[in-house]
Chains A and B, each alone.
Chain A
Amino acid sequence: MSGDPAPLLELRRVTKSFGGLRSVDELDLDVREGEIVSLIGPNGAGKTTVFNLVTGIYTPDEGAIRLDGRDIAGLPPHKISQLGIARTFQTLRLFLNMTVKENVMAAAYGHTKAGVLRSVLRTPGMRREEREIERLAEERLAFFGDRLVGYRWEQPAYSLSYANRRRLEIARATAAKPKLLLLDEPAAGMNPVETHEMTELIGRLREEGGYTILVIEHDMHVVEGISDRVIALDHGEKIAEGTFDEVATDAGVVEAYLGSAGAERK
């Protein structure tokens, strides 16, 4: 991160309002290649809205969103995904009635080609591609050790436990071959051991997968364990940015979380 290489993801004065409420207000945000950046803030601060803006679910009212210098604001979600951004959801959104492996295989759509006609004719190229998709899915699932392998491949996703559903969502996101991975509260609802495992996993995603990661997380142990940089939001505005220690001790952040009385007591 020496010098100033162009950031992988760049938000400039991005604004999004719902009715009269400015959910995201003139937000500037950079994520550089290879970084793990955490987005924190109280509930309703606009964190998930930022994710929805970046992934194309919402279009920003104003401002620019650039991936690798290319403006992606207003593109449909699948285009943005194909350009290299994949995400997980805070409220899990798996394809519950499909098998575990199919969930991951479905995410290979953006970088595979076989059309309807080739599928019906089962051309050699199509079958080769199918094998590649299957291998990709198995490899992505194997990333989670013995949690999502073997007999689980053919089980429907709804049979998975909560923690495994979170893992499957991450596996599915990585199967889209993204450069940037957006994780929305990956440790929510997990017990301490699973949370610890998730912290390490996010580190491994960068080391072994080579992904740049932007993560929303409430669990401060996770945030502390993974972040190169932390950005705090409140009322849609950036209130602090820096290392974990800088942000965690920032008076504005403490006030946002605990209210002004809490900040005084501190």
Chain B
Amino acid sequence: MDPERDFSELPEPGEPGSPRVGVDEWVAQADQLEERPTGIAGVLHRVGEVVTPPLRLALFVAFAATLPLWLSTGDLFNYGIFVLLYVLLGLGLNVVVGFAGLLDLGYVAFFGFGAYFYALLSSEHYGIHWPAIVTVPLVVVSTACLGLLLGIPSRRLLGDYLAIVTLFFGQAFVVFVNATDPVVAGKGLTGGPNGIADIDPLSFFGFDVTTRTQQYYVLLVAAVLVLVALHFISESRTGRSLRSLREDPLAAGAVGIPVNRLKLLAFAIGSGIAGLTGCIFGTVLTAVTAGNFDIPILITIYAVVILGGFGSLSGVVVGATVITVSFQFLAPENPQSNARLLFYTVIVLVLALLVRSWWRLALVLAVTVALGLSVHAIVEAVAPSWTGGAVVEGGRFADAIGNWVLIPQEHANFGNFAYVTLVVAVLVLTQIRPSRRIFALPFVAYLAAVVWETSFVLQPAVARWILFGALLVVLMNVRPQGLLGTSRVEIV
């Protein structure tokens, strides 16, 4: 640079004639320049712009409140109550992981602690029957304190180290609860593997919460209160500082935010919510055992938060709904027609997300259908035994599927081979050029349908996890920030 250059000759920025360097005007027009998402993603995007948080909450409450009117008691338990339980658990985890960015893998232990502590104070176990109006606040505060207690030694740990310590804590809880041997020691503190049974129902001012509908409404009230409270916290000084410590703890400290104290606060709020959920969970099941608070539940809660998007409150509600409902649809004891419906919906959704233009999507779907029909017709003419199998569980939709998908009569390993081929086909699909991908989509979609009808339908317990994993993988590729998340995720 020329050392003699006099910068005072230059016009001031903003004056006429000043260089427009750095006044990146295209950023000013970013809204107009932004590529509008098309297809399904576009519709969702526009809906999201119109629906503000209060309206979202109102819609959610309006919908959730009518649920007991048109769901059977069993369905209300399986869908309504469990969705709300996962909403609450997801909201608590979201404070720790989503707001404050602390990877807490022991979260489910606080849920368990809440449930067990409530059970000890309100059941036949010790013959203590404190009223819920005393027990619930006591349990929530104690669980929050336990969160603090775990937080104090962990607050200097970052990332992976924190994850390992908290994971250990979670496992230690399960081992501790299971440790009593009922044969030797009687029921002990926790009842060991038998857990604690006959937990008192929640009761407020002499009113017992016993029926499923009542329990559902108690959960709904709790979920709405927690949602509103967390929304207000998120929009406050505390929420901002929690997020800033997630973004950059060092910078947060440098602008006056007491980083360690806020980490403890996040732990305490998150565990308190988990403790509250534990109380309600115990009364809903009327019994608690250690298996209810083990790794699979932790994974599911994380899936709820990841699917919805870290840091997003409505994301938790969406994530909990999607995951609980799809898990129930895929449950072995439920009719396969539900699972089938879910499967084909997911296939169409995935295609819609990948194709992102209405007429192309229609084309891909038409080609897929035509492909199936012609493959089926050709095979039937050449080798009838390959199409002679029956569709599991009839119905009009299933019958139509039977005329479209290859279901061999014998050929026992066909399903397994088809599954392996599908995995390879999906891998190939991710490797070919995006512009050519659309041509491969109908084949892969059809293959997936074949695998479903010949293999997964027969083993729902395995299929639910495979489908669930596939769902998360697809989501993480299409929207790494989660359905309603806003954080930018760097993909390297």
Binding site for B on A (CB under 8 A): 55-57, 76-78, 81-82, 86-87, 89, 93-98, 102-103, 105-112, 114-116, 119-120, 122, 126, 129-130, 133, 145-147, 151-152, 155-156, 158-159, 161, 163-164, 172-173, 175-176, 191-194, 196-197, 199, 220-221
**Complex alpha-carbon distance, A78 and B251, angstroms:** 10
- Provide a sorted-by-A list of 28 A–B residue pairs whose CB atoms are within 8 angstroms: A76-B258, A77-B250, A78-B253, A81-B254, A86-B254, A89-B251, A94-B251, A95-B252, A96-B488, A97-B487, A98-B244, A102-B243, A106-B241, A106-B257, A108-B237, A109-B237, A114-B238, A119-B233, A119-B236, A120-B232, A122-B232, A145-B13, A161-B24, A192-B5, A192-B7, A194-B22, A196-B7, A196-B10
Interface residues on chain B, size class: 35 or more
Is B184 an interface residue when CB atoms closer than 8 A count as contact?
Answer: no
Q: Give the nearest-CB partner of A57 in chain B.
A: B250
Interface flag for B55 (CB, 8 Å)? no
- Chain B residue with the shortest CB-CB distance to A145: B14
Centre residue among A55, A116, A129 by max chain B CB count within 10 A:
A116
> A193 to B258, Cβ gap below 8 A?
no
In angstroms, Cα B82 to Cα A123, docked, is 34
Is there contact, CB below 8 Å, between B250 and A93?
A: yes
Query: Could you tell me if B259 and A78 are in contact, using CB atoms closer than 8 angstroms?
Result: yes
B241 lies within 8 A of A55 (CB): no
Residues of A within 8 A of B10 (CB): 193, 196
Q: Does B413 contact A (CB under 8 A)?
A: no
> Quick check: A107 and B256 within 8 Å, CB to CB?
yes
CA distance A77 to B250 in the complex (A): 9
Q: How far is the CB of B269 from chain A (nearest CB, A)?
A: 7
* Inter-chain contact total with CB atoms closer than 8 Å: 148
User: B33 contacts which chain A residues (CB < 8 A)?
Assistant: none
Task: Determine which of A57, A78, A81, A98 lies in contact with B247 in the assembled complex, contact meaning CB atoms within 8 Å.
Answer: A98
Write out, one digit per residue, whether chain B residues 254-278 have a CB within 8 A of any chain A CB (1) or not (0): 1111111000010001000000000
Find chain A residues with CB under 8 A from B256 CB: 78, 81-82, 86, 107, 109-111, 176
Residues of B with C-beta under 8 A to A114: 236-238
| Complex Cα–Cα for A6 and B388 (A) | 96
Would you call B338 an interface residue if the criterion is a C-beta within 8 Å of the partner chain's C-beta atoms? no
Q: How far is the CB of A183 from chain B (nearest CB, A)?
A: 13
> B residues 7-30 with Cβ under 8 Å of A?
7, 10, 13-14, 18-19, 21-24, 27-28, 30
Q: Which residues of B contact A105 (CB under 8 A)?
A: 237, 240
User: Which chain A residue lies CB-closest to B228?
Assistant: A120
Is B22 a contact partner of A130 (Cβ separation < 8 A)?
Answer: no
Closest to B7 in A: A196
Contacts beyond the supplied A57-B253, A77-B254, A110-B255: 9 A-B pairs with Cβ under 8 Å: A94-B248, A95-B251, A102-B243, A129-B237, A145-B14, A152-B27, A163-B22, A192-B5, A192-B7
